[in-house]
Structure 1
Amino acid sequence: MPNALPGWFFALFFLVATPALAGPRERAQVRTLVLSEHPDDAAHRIHVAGQIVTVLRFEQACDPMKTKLLGWEGRFEPLVVAGKRVVIEPLRALAPDESVPLLVTLADGTELSFLLRPPVEEWGWTDQQVDVFKDRESYQAVVSALSRALRAKNALEEENERLRQEETSADHALAALLVSGARAQTPFRVIKSWGAVEADSELSMRLYSGKGKAAVTIAVRNQSEDRPWRMVRAKLFSLKSHEPRTVAVRSEHASLSPGQSGTFAFVVDRSAFLDAEGQLETLMLEFYRHDGLRQGYVVLDPRLVRE
């Protein structure tokens, strides 16, 4: 297995979880919370992640003097209250058993209680924006609920179309072979290998070159004693224009339980390297884990697909 890249090749790989940096804009994760639908809840849960901003939006202005976090010191940036918005930013990820109470007081004196919690491990959702309504019959609440239903419908249609295309995709078939360890049945050869060890995971990555295609695999061992590990998404885009490109993804397991290992494979066709003028350009592939942080990235030189 080669330990060094050819002289013409440049690649950069980073295997440390960091907040998302500049890149293609993410689709906003917006949740609607109608308080009248949960009358028995003393404190409504808001799921927050380290170094990721969460915004609560209300129907009326908030009182900044009576809106506060309780016991937040050392775990959150100072709370920002601006008009109808409350901005929350944890300094680090909360532990599974951690929670921080938040009291929001509206301009009319209404007090609303929330409990800031880490994302639920099963689905890993982090609230980026939460629209809060007191009554489900209000105009804005109805509009928000309709928008939420339309987003869910569109997301379901996109997911069905994605699954239909993957059934006949050669790139997804190649990714599946890499995940299963059957590299000999693919056109790829290993160009470079990396590795890294973190407090909760051990990772190793391989970069492949093939005829008209490039590929990346990441093998992960979850070293946490009590928390699952998941990779929630990957992004491929032009390093120059930041325009998104298509990448085929396959995973051995949807989630890795403590002590479990699994492999993720990404296959990129030569067409993804072409700009609007048909010229080959450099791409960046980013990987995001369950808590919303970027686990790593690799810069893909177009000469990977010229062989």
Structure 2
Amino acid sequence: MWKRLLQRSTLLLVLVASVAVARDRAPRVRNVYLRDDPKDEAPRVYVTGQVVTVLRLQQPCDPSRTRMPGWEGRFEPVECSGKRVLVEPLQNLESEDRFPLLVTLADGKELPFTITAIGKEWEQPDQQVDVFLAPETPEVLRAKLEDTRTRERLLQEATLRYGREDTEDHALARLVSRGSVQLTRLKLRRRWFLRKEGMTLKADLLTGETKAAVLFRVTNHDPSKPWSLVEARVLTTRPGRKAPTLFGEARPFALHKDWDELAPGSAGSLAVVVDKSAFTSQEGPCDLTVELYRHDGLRVGHVLMDRRLFRE
């Protein structure tokens, strides 16, 4: 039966590169708390080319005494207006670049900052930095309380995520991603290669009696930039379609990888595992599409799996 299905091309695997997908991101607003201690390091402000970063102060600043030495040719002139300081690089900074910014308030108090580049390619620059001085004011206490709530929420989400990963499917994904397919009941059905845009992507389609998996092997050929996965999706696809849908119903899946980013020249594996039940949606039997999105939001590949994989 499997042979006939393969001959009739009912197992479809398609990898598509360079498909841009717009993804909304929340503005990056960060709080900075300054103490009146000369031993403290100047807080860093992370910027990127042609994007304005705003420092939001508690009191007005003095334009005549707010300066950034060495800005010529690299930045627009620093603007100090009321309680706002605007910083805009003309182009992306190098990771080692450091520019001192000295903001002077109307009362003469000087606030030092260090302007530098974002740490990694997929990170967001500071769109707004709220600067707090007096640690006991109600405004500062509210900001710190909100920071604490945000950290707690992120911790709870991580705890729930790790709890959900303690499943049979996640255990299977760990085995597959680590190259131990021989320890599972999965069998290789199809293999596909793609080389484009500084990367190589190999995908192995594996199936068993009640599980299906895709093992991706990503190699980063870019000479200077790291590569990372920002998101994977498993969506329902209308039966008979040979292309993925961007509006399918999300289906449960397990994913495992042992790396956060791939340095230039390095490679890594990741596995996506779905249960047989995922091939049934609210509208009935369906096919599934596995999609991968890299750090800049571009979809780098998709795998289309036919529901008839589980027919005897």
TM-score range, shorter chain: 0.5 to 0.7
After superposition, the C-alpha distances for 1:157-185 in whole angstroms (9 at most, x for unaligned) are 22122112212241x22322232123453
User: Do structure 1's residue 179 and structure 2's residue 185 form an aligned pair?
Assistant: no
Q: After superposition, where does 1:257-272 map in structure 2 within 5 Å?
A: 260-268=266-274
CA change 1:156–1:69 in 2 (3 A) is same
Cα gap change, 1:33/1:100 in structure 2, threshold over 3 Å: closer, same or farther?
same
Normalising by the residue count of structure 2, what TM-score does the alignment of the two structures yield? 0.66
Counterpart in the other structure of 2:218:
219
SS in 2 for 1:40: coil
| Contact preservation (8 Å) 1:77, 1:89 | yes
SS at match of 1:43: coil
Structure-to-structure mapping, 1:47-196, within 5 angstroms: 47-48=46-47, 54-60=53-59, 71=70, 93-104=92-103, 111-120=110-119, 127=126, 129-170=128-169, 172-184=170-182, 185=184, 186-187=186-187, 189-196=189-196
Q: Deviations over 1:206-225 (max 9, x none)?
A: 26364664535142357658
Contact 2:57 2:131 in 1 (8 A): yes
**Structure 1 regions of 5+ residues with no counterpart?**
none
Matched residue type, 2:230: R
Residue 208, structure 1, aligned to residue 208, structure 2: no
Contact kept, 8 Å, 2:205 with 2:213, in 1: the verdict is yes
Which ranges in structure 2 are unaligned for 5 or more consecutive residues?
Answer: 1-7, 236-244
Amino acid aligned to 2:56: R
Q: Secondary structure at the match of 1:175?
A: helix
User: Structure 2: how far apart are the matches of 1:46 and 1:285?
Assistant: 34
Q: Which residue of 2 aligns with 1:14?
A: 17
User: Which residue is 2:291 aligned to?
Assistant: 285
The residue type equivalent to 1:182 in the other structure is S
Which residue of structure 1 lines up, in the alignment, with residue 242 of structure 2? none
Q: CA deviation at 1:135?
A: 1.9
Distance 2:247 2:207 in 1: 25
Between the aligned partners of 1:63 and 1:49, the Cα distance in structure 2 is 25
Pick closer, same or farther for the CA change 1:58–1:21 going to 2, 3 Å.
farther
> Which secondary structure state, in structure 1, belongs to the residue aligned with residue 256 of structure 2?
strand
Once the 2 structures are TM-superposed, how far is the Cα of residue 33 of structure 1 from its aligned partner? Answer: 0.6
Q: How much has 1:98 moved relative to structure 2?
A: 1.6
TM-score, normalisation: structure 1:
0.67
Q: Cα gap change, 1:52/1:297 in structure 2, threshold over 3 Å: closer, same or farther?
A: farther
The separation in 2 between residues aligned to 1:101 and 1:107, in whole angstroms, is: 20
Aligned 8 A contact 1:235 1:285 in 2? yes
Q: Deviation of residue 45 (structure 1)?
A: 0.8
How large is the RMSD of aligned CA atoms in angstroms? 4.7
The one-letter amino acid of 1:266's match is V
How many aligned residue pairs are there?
288
Show the counterpart of 1:33.
32
Quick one: percent identity of the two aligned structures?
32
Alpha-carbon distance in structure 1 between the residues aligned to 2:17 and 2:272: 16
8 Å contact from structure 2 (residues 15, 194) kept in 1: no
Q: Which moved more, 1:182-191 or 1:78-87?
A: 78-87
In 2, Cα distance between the equivalents of 1:39 and 1:159?
37
